[in-house]
Chains A and B, each alone.
Chain A
């Protein structure tokens, strides 16, 4: 990696996440306005590349060829790389990964990575249909495979094999909702979820309850990435990309293997930390993909925060909260913020930038945050994507 140029995130912003009374294009414009406001030095003509993370605009907004549409809405005219990235729930991080690659190799100098999803439709059954084609549509989706029943089976096996409890699942959700109460952009900013309340919510896919699941959410987010020689123009507190890992293990559910051991995440996590030259113990915060409460528990284990099988206790004991060993999902997570597929990975990265720049409310500010990890899984946790960031400036 020595011949590559160094790349940093130098600013970013998100829209309000939630059930929004607006269109896909209006979300893009809202994120664009927020990005240019957050990075006052940025002029549109400096943006040579645009990467648009969007999982299913064809399904949710009946719109393809979305990268030039987003460019037009943002008022930018890319001359180096213009593309959309799609990796289901990791579409946003894919936009950042692509921008990182383009800048590192010298193709791009100044790139915007924007993620967006409009998921709430008049017919939510139509939206659920779109979610079911993330799986192997013909062979698994046709049986009704969507994320909730799949992650419910993961939780069932984790409970069976490791004794994980509903209370431990609720501890994850309670923590992330608590953090979301300090994030005005979060879908559940003004809703309080105690563990007792979470344990009373209806079961949606046994053993998972409504509060164990992230939401169908509308939202967009954008970050600015630049090559090292341009960093100072935009930010005094850059978030340098230091490490990367990714692993695609399987797709059809017949190849899912053990549901509770995610070897792809172990491999990709190890590679992300190794390439950054750090260990899991060096991380101050981690924005991980808590699409379901059980996901965050297994992520603690696969990333080496705790031994296999002990993720539930790790959450319940507060070791992933402020004052713990590594603060996980201070933004509020997907559970608290909602999960607009294309926007999530970008919004997590915005949080890393703001944490490094000490721009977040004290209720979620990680003290002396120097190293951060962003993780997204996609589909049925068959793909894992990770980036490691170091605070600069």
Chain B
């Protein structure tokens, strides 16, 4: 895999984690060469079985709009037109009324930390060089959503429950995008590419 690290937080140190040093991940043979492809679509082939991040293009997922929106700085999800339920993560069926009439809505990009911890050891492949990193549950402002995610911009020792954070898109090395929470009083990371 591309080791999953995010451009926005380039690893600046590498040390063994867990109970024994982790050797370099060995990529298994790739399943199927990309059908290919216009040059603009070429990207590193990631063995899906070891890739944490969602496949994001229209050929792979029906909720590609989430990622399309995220790339232009919008944080969105689906809402059921019938019963008004805000659904996370983006769905293709409302699990409450089983209707498929969903619409895209913008979510607040600010929230407050409900709980947090940090991964100091035992990180998965591709995340070893991120260690230590913070994770937490964040209550988004004004909507009944409490989302889990990385919290960047401060060491875990200075985080506190109730602390304001905002959602930031972060580009992945292979052209995909994901999101993290950024503590409010720290400078913004690189803008999405």
Contact = CB atoms under 8 A, between A and B. Distances in A.
A317 interface: no
Contacts, number: 124
A126 B20 CA distance: 12
Nearest to B28: A62
A136 interface: yes
B122 A146 contact: yes
Interface residues of A, number: 42
Report the contact-size class of chain B (Cβ under 8 Å from the partner).
35 or more
A145 B148 CA distance: 8
B125 A125 contact: yes
Given A126-B125, A139-B54, A145 B135 contact: yes
Contacts of B123: 125, 128, 144
Nearest to B181: A143
A219 B31 CA distance: 31
Interface in A94-110: none
Among B53, B117, B125, B180, max chain A CB count under 10 A is at: B117
A117 to B, nearest CB: 17
Interface in B67-90: 88-89
Contact of B124 (A129, A157, A205, A208): A129
Given A124-B18, A125-B25, A138-B54, A144 B127 contact: yes
A149 B117 contact: yes
A122 B156 CA distance: 30
Nearest to B140: A254
Contact of A142 (B22, B52, B137): B52
B165 to A, nearest CB: 13
B124 A138 contact: no
A140 B148 CA distance: 6
B178 interface: yes
A341 interface: no
A192 interface: no
Nearest to A215: B19
A203 B119 contact: no
Given A124-B18, A129-B125, A143-B149, A206 B117 contact: yes
Given A125-B17, A144-B150, A256 B137 contact: yes
Contacts of B50: 129
Interface string B73-115: 0000000000000001100000000000000000000000011
A148 B121 CA distance: 9
A154 to B, nearest CB: 8
Nearest to A149: B117
Contact of B147 (A149, A160, A254): A254
B139 to A, nearest CB: 11
A47 B23 CA distance: 43
Contacts of B148: 139-140, 143, 145, 252-254
A205 B133 CA distance: 10
Interface string A144-159: 1110111011101100
A105 to B, nearest CB: 30
A141 B120 CA distance: 16
Nearest to A130: B124
B116 A125 contact: no
B69 to A, nearest CB: 15
Nearest to B122: A128
B53 A142 contact: yes
A145 B134 CA distance: 10
A356 B150 CA distance: 47
A199 to B, nearest CB: 17
Contact of A126 (B25, B54, B149, B180): B25
Interface in B16-63: 17-20, 22-23, 25-26, 50, 52-54
A252 B91 CA distance: 12
A132 B52 contact: yes
A205 B115 CA distance: 13
A207 B116 CA distance: 10
A123 interface: yes
Interface in B134-193: 135-137, 145-150, 156, 161, 178, 180
8 contacts: A125-B123, A128-B18, A144-B124, A154-B115, A156-B116, A157-B115, A253-B137, A254-B148
